[in-house]
């Protein structure tokens, strides 16, 4: 027989289940965005390796750089450079996944324990601050993804321009609905 134990009453009173679910979704979203950002960063480093070694930037050379060539040190202007094994790439990943993001999510959970104080324009201050903290990693990752896309020159492609026009139209639609409601 399986017994289900309810959490202690103070846990139920302190943590709002909806906010805990939102924080969990933010954690999941951040992890997915970190993987996308890392994949794009690897593509950037493969591209930089191909440029440094005077190879064409083709799909074949990019795949070969990711699998084999890009891991070797390359001498550029008398200095040794490493691309896919760069210390900066490893340090950024460690900083994100071990140091920064877990603390932001933990603080976001802790902020939910603050007293429920309503502020007229913001709502409950504990929920507002918690939301602010758990959205920081998502915004940072989105900015990093856009940076990598700019470096890969994806922003000049036709599909990216179409996607941006779609986002602009969606924002205009939401604004028009909001104005119609007022």
* Span 15-62, pLDDT tens digits: 667 777 888 899 999 999 999 998 998 898 888 888 888 888 888 888
Q: Is the pLDDT of residue 159 over 90?
A: no
- Report the first-to-last Cα separation within the chain, whole angstroms: 55
d(CA 34, CA 95) in angstroms, rounded, equals 12
Residues 83/49, Cβ–Cβ less than 8 Å: yes
Q: Exposure pattern of 52-90 as b/e (b: 16+ CB <10 Å)?
A: eeeeeeeeebbebbbeebbeeeeeeeeeeebbbeeeebe
- The DSSP bridge partners found for residue 76 are 79
pLDDT band at 182 (very low <50, low <70, confident <90, very high): low
Average pLDDT, whole number, for the chain? 81
Helices (H), 98-157: 101-111, 125-151
Residues 6+ apart with CB under 8 A from 105: 23, 26, 27, 30, 133, 134, 137
Query: Residue 82: which of 74, 93, 92, 90 has the closest Cα?
Result: 74
E strands within 5-156? 74-76, 79-81, 118-119, 123-124
Asked whether residue 1 carries a pLDDT value surpassing 70, the answer given is no
Please say whether the beta carbons of 42 and 18 come within 8 A. Answer: no
pLDDT at res. 12? 53
Q: What percent of the chain has pLDDT over 70?
A: 88
Residue 150 has pLDDT above 80, yes or no: yes
Structure tokens at 143: 């900015």
**Averaged pLDDT for residues 148-158:** 77
pLDDT at 9: 58
pLDDT of residue 11: 54
**Across-strand partners of 124?**
118
């Amino acid at each position: 027989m399986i017994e289900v134990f309810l959490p202690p009453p103070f846990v139920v009173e302190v943590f709002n289940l909806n906010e805990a679910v939102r924080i969990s979704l933010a954690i999941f979203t951040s992890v997915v965005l970190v993987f996308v950002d890392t994949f794009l960063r690897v593509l950037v480093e493969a591209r930089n390796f191909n440029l440094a070694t005077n190879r064409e930037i083709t799909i074949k050379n990019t795949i070969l750089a990711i699998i084999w060539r890009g891991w070797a040190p390359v001498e550029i202007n008398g200095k040794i450079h490493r691309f896919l094994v760069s210390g900066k790439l490893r340090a950024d990943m460690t900083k994100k996944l071990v140091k920064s993001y877990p603390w932001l999510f933990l603080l976001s959970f802790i902020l939910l324990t603050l007293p429920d104080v309503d502020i007229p324009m913001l709502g409950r201050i504990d929920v507002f601050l918690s939301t602010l903290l758990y959205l920081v990693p998502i915004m940072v990752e989105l900015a990093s993804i856009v940076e990598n896309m700019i470096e890969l020159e994806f922003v000049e492609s036709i599909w990216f321009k179409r996607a941006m026009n779609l986002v602009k139209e969606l924002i205009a639609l939401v604004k028009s609905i909001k104005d119609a409601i007022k």
